[in-house]
């Protein structure tokens, strides 16, 4: 069964394009257009009073959806921002420095650019003390991070590595060392949210979780989200006026904070991404499309793709994330990866490359015909 009709606008806008990068910039379904339009219409109809609807109706509905996806049941532990980088800055400011001096951050050499670049710059300026562990071997990564926990105030690791598509297992060992007084454990779930069923679960009792709407949530940019474990960082130093809405007990002159995840809120924001997210979630529900069902469909297409490219130049590459694995993309390492990506781009076929790794992402808007078309293009790579 093909779900292309759900993406008619995006596919019809460039009918000759073959978009094989759902892991990078997921195409927007038609439902997101309806969400964007409703946001504008509410602003025109309600003007100043639109915030009553946004914060009173849509925000809690979006929180509930995220908590259900994460498998925590903790809707009041969810907060939204324009992007996850905003949350990194707020976490850096709020995390406890147990030995004084700069914050001690422990991470890996496989993190996405928003964390990698910011951490490197902070370390360059002396604002943090940075320790970076190699991701390999991935099977022992969580254990190795937990073994260094006493030397850290904040630990950040991806649940699915963006470069290789490998899953980091054993995160329970990290959750066990995460405490309100430090260290804090932050899980980057950008490639697991709405790609893996209930990726957080009980880990949410003690771990932060970062994700966004740009990829598998199909909602576009502007929807950064964070799960905040109860009791961690009750008074974040970087704070916007939305963070005190629910605190009616603070004495005059004191900076108040909401008791739930709203304590990490910023200030006035663009709510359109929340509208898009909710329309997408309703679309999925109407079509009986759960993360488990979508993942199963993508798994079928990935298996077909792995089988078909064996006889093409891509078959010479090392598959870094053999099936089965939870990633929604294939990661192929080869010295010619960048050249392949450019050659495919010249044929209006979109993939992406990270160093010597070609990434090919599949999503709900692909079907078997797309796989065959992609394989035909790769045969001409030489």
- pTM beyond 0.85: the answer is yes
pLDDT of residue 1: 80
Helices in 233-362 by DSSP H: which ranges?
272-286, 291-308, 337-346
**Domain 32-284: top CATH class:** alpha beta
Which residues of the chain fall short of a pLDDT of 50?
none
Report the candidate in 29, 38, 32, 81 with the shortest Cα–Cα distance to residue 277. Answer: 32
Report the candidate in 162, 282, 278, 284 with the shortest Cα–Cα distance to residue 219. Answer: 278
33-52 tens-digit pLDDT: 999 999 999 999 999 999 99
Q: Which structure tokens are listed for 183?
A: 């260290």
Q: Which fold has domain 4-30+289-379?
A: 3.90.1150
Characterize the bridge pairing of strands 357-361 and 329-333: antiparallel
**What CA–CA distance (Å, rounded) separates 147 from 127?**
24
CB 175 within 8 A of CB 206: yes
Give the helix/strand (H/E) hosting 156: strand 154-158
CB 381 within 8 A of CB 343: yes
Q: Where exactly are the structural domains of the chain?
A: 4-30+289-379, 32-284
207-228 tens-digit pLDDT: 999 999 999 999 999 999 999 9
pLDDT of residue 318: 98
Tell me how far the alpha carbon of residue 76 is from its chain's centroid: 19
CB 209 within 8 A of CB 229: no
Helices in the chain by DSSP H: which ranges?
8-13, 30-46, 50-53, 59-70, 84-94, 113-125, 141-147, 172-175, 272-286, 291-308, 337-346, 368-379
């Amino acid at each position: 069964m093909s779900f292309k009709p759900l993406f008619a606008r995006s596919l019809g806008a460039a009918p000759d394009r073959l978009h094989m990068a759902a892991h990078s910039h997921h195409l927007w379904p038609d439902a997101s257009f309806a969400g964007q339009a409703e946001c504008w219409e509410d602003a025109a109809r309600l003007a100043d009073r639109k915030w009553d609807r946004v914060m009173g109706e849509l925000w809690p509905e979006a929180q509930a959806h995220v908590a259900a996806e994460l498998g925590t049941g903790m809707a009041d532990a969810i907060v939204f921002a324009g992007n996850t980088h905003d949350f990194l800055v707020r976490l850096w400011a709020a995390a406890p420095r147990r030995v004084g001096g700069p914050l001690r951050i422990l991470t890996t050499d496989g993190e996405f650019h928003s964390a990698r670049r910011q951490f490197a710059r902070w370390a360059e300026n002396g604002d943090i003390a940075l320790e970076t562990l190699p991701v390999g071997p991935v099977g022992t990564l969580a254990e190795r991070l937990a073994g260094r926990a006493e030397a850290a105030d904040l630990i950040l690791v991806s649940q699915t590595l963006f470069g290789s598509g490998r899953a980091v297992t054993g995160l329970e060992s990290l959750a066990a060392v995460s405490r309100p007084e430090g260290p804090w454990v932050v899980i980057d779930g950008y490639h697991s949210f709405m790609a893996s069923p209930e990726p957080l679960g009980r880990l949410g009792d003690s771990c932060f979780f970062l994700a966004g709407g740009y990829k598998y949530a199909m909602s576009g940019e502007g929807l950064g989200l964070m799960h905040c474990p109860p009791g961690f960082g009750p008074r974040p130093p970087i704070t916007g006026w939305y963070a005190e809405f629910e605190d009616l007990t603070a004495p005059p002159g004191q900076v108040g904070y909401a008791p739930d995840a709203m304590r990490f809120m910023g200030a006035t924001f663009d709510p359109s991404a929340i509208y898009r997210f909710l329309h997408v979630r309703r679309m999925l529900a109407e079509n009986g499309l759960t993360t488990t069902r979508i993942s199963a469909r993508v798994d079928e297409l990935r298996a077909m793709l792995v089988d078909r490219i064996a006889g093409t130049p891509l078959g010479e590459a090392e598959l870094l994330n053999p099936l089965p694995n939870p990633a929604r993309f294939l990661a192929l390492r080869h010295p010619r990866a960048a050249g392949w990506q450019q050659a495919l781009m010249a044929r209006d076929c979109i993939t992406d490359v990270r160093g010597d790794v070609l990434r090919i992402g599949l999503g709900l808007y692909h079907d078997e015909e797309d796989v065959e078309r992609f394989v035909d293009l790769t045969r001409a790579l030489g």
